[in-house]
A and B are shown apart, each in its own frame.
Chain A
Amino acid sequence: MSSASSTTSGAAKPASTRAKPANKWEQAADWTDGRLGIYSLARANLRKIFPDHWSFMLGEICLYTFIIIILTGVYLTLFFKPSMGEVIYQGSYVPLKGIPMSEAYASTVDISFEVRGGLLVRQIHHWAALVFVAAMLVHMMRVFFTGAFRKPREINWVFGFLLLVLGMFDGFFGYSLPDDLLSGTGIRFMEGAILAVPLVGTYIQMFLFGGEFPGHDIVPRFFTIHVLLIPGIMLGLLVAHLILVFYHKHTQWAGPGKTEKNVVGMPLMPVYMAKAGGFFFLVFGLIAVISAIATINPIWAYGPYRPDQVSTDAQPDWYMGFSEGLIRIMPGWEISLWGHTLNLGVMVPLAIFPMVLAAIAVYPFIEGWITGDKREHHILDRPRNAPVRTGLGAAWISLYLILLMAGGNDLFATHLHLSINSVTYFVRVGMFVVPVLVFIITKRWCLGLQRRDKEKVLHGRETGVIKRLPHGEFVEVHAQLPAKDLHTLTAHEQVEPFELPAATDENGVARKANVITRTRAKLSRGFYGEGSQIPKPTSEEHHEITSGHGHH
């Protein structure tokens, strides 16, 4: 065949140096390459190196649960009717027979009881959503505490942040769709929150609900937002996020043979492919098992939504709990002026909520500005070696937990037999005090750990062997650390704080640093000043101790 074609196209065609395909698969690959150019694409990626550490799996869990949510979500849309049209329930679930309800609620009950496997898919969808948001949070914590967000990865941090926020909101919209008593209460909350917006609140409310609460349009509208608008944006962000992960290559921990200029690990094909691919099935399988045994959101027990009724455990899913907490602890402040009302009791929490979130989004840029560090970073920080950052992260988590606690103040009160008022008062104060305390404690703890590392490097590791010296003293034998540990424990860098330039320049002319520069210097001292890092051991110190009179 090839000889036939070469004769017809003339002698000008140079002979191909390409090896003959060895089998059908290679032949198919050649064919595809001619159209899509897959070989050049695969060359860089087939044996791409991925470093290994358990915490790197957190991002994978996010990806896999997202896929699971899409798969189950598509299934659910085949049966769900996003309509507020009223029907009388006639299905097989006896307690609801004859009760008027929306088609949305009725079809959700049908999915649970009439469609075989529908209940399972619904529960997988909901459980996967919870795991998705949780995994995103923990994944972000990993990235934060290890400093993996530093240059060149700041943009990817923002992409990840947007995915978290969109994920939370999409969860809220999805939770609202079945139009049960619990989710209706959530929508009511949203209406009140929108009304609290000054000037345009009532207009937004009317336009969003298509009239007064609850209106007829809210479920179909939320449905479109939940299944099309937000997931569409998320998919785009996710792809961009992954492309950047590939492009930047993964970060790695310091260790023997690992530098800022390389990445050490195992190749994509076959090890990483098998592990990551396998891990998808592990996650999916586990969520399926959980959904088989643990009921989540039993909407049939709550009943259809009625604005004049409320179910007892009016609680949002946990990831919205901290906004709920903010709302619950806010004193009821309302300002009436010139015939207008400003509902601070709702507005203030609503403004703090995005600010708490935004603080995370901008953190890499703030830290980058304070340190003035313009270099690329691929080696991760151990959290203890960045005490201020670690302290800030821990403080943020404690704030989140305190607000989560406020969001469940009724549960705390009933389960622990406390007065709900005292729980609320405690949280009102705690929200300001606890994060500060947590910051201080965490920072000290990190410094303690740094000191211990230094001790280990200089004096070695305790062996547990007690030796009696000739003059009768008992000492514990310390073993010198192996070279690889010495290196790992001292591989981190320590930066000196940024100092203001001298008050006068070389010609003796007074030079005043502006406020911004002075703030930066102060912050930088906070980050790297004396109280924030233990000087790491130098090789001289090490020499002196190890070459001296025996180690002990």
Chain B
Amino acid sequence: MSHDMSEEKLPESHGSAGHHEVAAHGDPFADPGLPAHEPRRTDIDERAAKRAERQVSLMFVVSMLATIGFIASYVAIDKEKIVYVWPLGNISALNFALGMTLGVALFLIGAGAVHWARTLMSDVELPAERHPIEADDEVRNDVIDQFRTGAAESGFGRRKMIRNTLIGSMALVPLSGVVLLRDLGPLPEDKLEHTGWLEATPAKPLALINMNTNLPMTAEDIIVGSLTFAMPEGLHTHDEDFQQRIAKDALMLVRIAPENIKDEKSKELGFEGILAYSKICTHVGCPISLYEQQTHHALCPCHQSTFDLADGARVIFGPAGHPLPQLKIITDEKGFLVATGDFDEPVGPSYWERAR
């Protein structure tokens, strides 16, 4: 690189500004050299030194007592005991006692050691030489020569076919490791496209089960301005795959006076103003839980995406990219709210293969 900083631009012989020869020229900024050592109190006063010694030992002794206290607390204090400690409030007595004794035991070893070093060990500062990290030219040339000899003897540069096939095989062999990861999980297929509501058909609809009461609901159960959470019938909290299913099936039901519903399609999918939206936020999938009655806005607590439930759950604020999917609901002959099919688009966060 010819464009490197030219030597004369750099302050000459850097580091030498602090050398004593320069001082001889009467430079007021020259390095005056290491200052003389100033003795501490404990260096000259034997009584002060003795006192420091006692202080250090005292800390070590208290540390020993604290460790004994730790063991005693472990044995003696009931693990369920709660105590009131001002200003912390009600806390576990065992946790408090163990932590305090352990803390004191450790802290005092440290404090003792530091105090010892500061008061009684020598505090004379000493200089040590640095050596340049770079090797000198002789070593460098020697190593390069040796390497060249070795490389020439291997014939690595000469036998191009061996070299190239070696590089090729080395490049491919890690692929085996990647392939081995395949069985970590199943292929995506269309798993993300459907939810548990897929089982519902017009002939065999699925009832909406209230998450709190575990009972099916009629339209009258849902009052205007309320938010109710529901799951499909046949799903139970003790099911093996409950977590996986509720992560997609969860519904929130909102009832809005029909004249206030701005989106026609949304009104059609609902039943008498009861709209069933996916509870899973379309941003990254948190369950939406905060609802404002007057504005019909639902807010996701994770990153505050806000959906207007009166307007097809359109995103009105925040990072979510598309509205919440809506589930078509009707009532069956007994008057229970049911779904007759799946959402018409995937629920939850979007992904590459997601159409629409």
B102 A288 Cβ-Cβ under 8 A: yes
A193 B284 Cβ-Cβ under 8 A: yes
Q: Chain A interface: which of B27-35, B152-160, B332-340?
A: B27-35
| A36 CB within 8 Å of chain B | no
A542 to B1, CA, bound (A): 39
User: From residue B246, how far is it (CB to closest CB) to chain A in Å?
Assistant: 5
The 8 Å CB contact of A213, one of B19, B114, B244, is B244
Contact flag A152-B133 (CB < 8 Å), given A185-B286, A274-B121, A330-B319: yes
Residues of A within 8 A of B28 (CB): 483, 486, 539, 542-543, 546
| A461 CB within 8 Å of chain B | no
Residues of A within 8 A of B72 (CB): none
Closest residue of B by beta carbon distance from A113: B79
Fill in one digit per residue for B17-38: 1 if any A CB lies within 8 Å of its CB, else 0.
1110000001111111111000
Fill in one digit per residue for A67-110: 1 if any B CB lies within 8 Å of its CB, else 0.
00000000000000000001000001000000010000000000
User: From residue B65, how far is it (CB to closest CB) to chain A in Å?
Assistant: 14
* Interface residue tally for chain A (C-beta within 8 Å): 140
| A55 CB within 8 Å of chain B | no
| A245 CB within 8 Å of chain B | no
The listed residue with most A CB atoms (<10 A of its CB), out of B110, B112, B121, B240, is B110
Interface residue ranges of A262-316 to B (CB < 8 Å): 262-267, 270-271, 274-275, 277-295, 305-310, 312, 314
Closest residue of B by beta carbon distance from A198: B352
Residues of A within 8 A of B231 (CB): 308
A497 to B111, CA, bound (A): 49
A496 to B117, CA, bound (A): 44
A206 to B74, CA, bound (A): 45
A517 to B9, CA, bound (A): 17
| A205 CB within 8 Å of chain B | yes
Contact flag A285-B105 (CB < 8 Å), given A214-B244, A491-B17: yes
| B351 CB within 8 Å of chain A | yes
| A375 CB within 8 Å of chain B | yes
The 8 Å CB contact of A308, one of B107, B110, B287, is B287
Q: Chain B interface: which of A27-35, A366-374, A436-444?
A: A366-374
| B184 CB within 8 Å of chain A | yes
A280 B110 Cβ-Cβ under 8 A: yes
B318 A332 Cβ-Cβ under 8 A: yes
Interface residue ranges of B81-101 to A (CB < 8 Å): 85, 88, 91-92, 94-100
A282 B114 Cβ-Cβ under 8 A: yes
A333 to B244, CA, bound (A): 28
Contact flag A342-B352 (CB < 8 Å), given A258-B18, A281-B106, A420-B304: yes
B14 A375 Cβ-Cβ under 8 A: yes
Residues of B within 8 A of A288 (CB): 99-100, 102-103, 106-107
A277 to B352, CA, bound (A): 54
Residues of A within 8 A of B105 (CB): 285
| A196 CB within 8 Å of chain B | yes
Residues of B within 8 A of A249 (CB): 128, 130
Residues of B within 8 A of A210 (CB): 184-185
B110 A487 Cβ-Cβ under 8 A: no
Fill in one digit per residue for B269-311: 1 if any A CB lies within 8 Å of its CB, else 0.
0000000000110011111010000000000011111000000
A307 B287 Cβ-Cβ under 8 A: yes
Contact flag A265-B133 (CB < 8 Å), given A116-B94, A281-B113, A282-B111: no
Residues of B within 8 A of A236 (CB): none
A274 B116 Cβ-Cβ under 8 A: yes
A49 B107 Cβ-Cβ under 8 A: no
B114 A203 Cβ-Cβ under 8 A: no
Fill in one digit per residue for A480-493: 1 if any B CB lies within 8 Å of its CB, else 0.
00011011001101
B96 A281 Cβ-Cβ under 8 A: no
A539 B99 Cβ-Cβ under 8 A: no
Closest residue of A by beta carbon distance from B74: A116
Contact flag A371-B109 (CB < 8 Å), given A185-B286, A307-B250: no
Residues of A within 8 A of B322 (CB): 332, 334
| B125 CB within 8 Å of chain A | yes
B99 A291 Cβ-Cβ under 8 A: yes
Closest residue of B by beta carbon distance from A102: B243
B113 A275 Cβ-Cβ under 8 A: yes
Contact flag A340-B31 (CB < 8 Å), given A185-B302, A495-B11: no
Closest residue of B by beta carbon distance from A327: B303
| A390 CB within 8 Å of chain B | no
B34 A206 Cβ-Cβ under 8 A: no
Interface residue ranges of B177-204 to A (CB < 8 Å): 181-182, 184-188, 191-192
| B355 CB within 8 Å of chain A | yes
A279 to B35, CA, bound (A): 27
Fill in one digit per residue for B107-138: 1 if any A CB lies within 8 Å of its CB, else 0.
11111111011100111111111101100000
| A317 CB within 8 Å of chain B | no
Contact flag A260-B15 (CB < 8 Å), given A285-B103, A496-B9: yes
Contact flag A289-B352 (CB < 8 Å), given A189-B302, A410-B304: no
Closest residue of A by beta carbon distance from B97: A292
The 8 Å CB contact of A487, one of B9, B32, B104, is B32
User: From residue B259, how far is it (CB to closest CB) to chain A in Å?
Assistant: 27
Residues of B within 8 A of A331 (CB): 319
A310 B286 Cβ-Cβ under 8 A: yes
Closest residue of A by beta carbon distance from B303: A328
| A364 CB within 8 Å of chain B | no
| B3 CB within 8 Å of chain A | yes
| A530 CB within 8 Å of chain B | no
A271 B121 Cβ-Cβ under 8 A: yes
Contact flag A257-B33 (CB < 8 Å), given A271-B123, A278-B111: yes
Closest residue of A by beta carbon distance from B244: A212
A537 to B17, CA, bound (A): 14
Contact flag A259-B287 (CB < 8 Å), given A191-B349, A289-B100: no
Contact flag A259-B352 (CB < 8 Å), given A264-B125, A307-B250: no
Closest residue of B by beta carbon distance from A406: B303
B3 A517 Cβ-Cβ under 8 A: yes
A258 to B19, CA, bound (A): 9
Q: Knowing that A281-B108, A282-B111, A329-B319 touch, tell me 10 more A-B residue pairs with CB under 8 angstroms.
A: A189-B286, A202-B352, A203-B188, A262-B127, A265-B126, A307-B243, A308-B280, A331-B319, A487-B18, A539-B29
Q: List 20 A-B contacts (CB under 8 A).
A: A185-B302, A193-B284, A205-B188, A249-B130, A265-B126, A275-B113, A277-B113, A282-B106, A282-B111, A285-B108, A292-B98, A309-B287, A310-B286, A332-B305, A332-B315, A334-B321, A346-B284, A420-B304, A424-B304, A513-B3
Residues on A facing B (Cβ under 8 Å)? 48-49, 86, 92, 100, 113-114, 116-117, 119-120, 123-124, 152, 185, 188-189, 191-193, 195-203, 205-215, 217, 247-249, 254, 256-267, 270-271, 274-275, 277-295, 305-310, 312, 314, 324, 327-334, 336, 339-346, 371-376, 378-379, 409-410, 420-421, 424, 457, 483-484, 486-487, 490-491, 493-496, 498, 501, 513, 517, 520, 537, 539, 542-543, 546
Closest 4 CB pairs of A and B: A292-B99, A192-B284, A285-B107, A278-B113
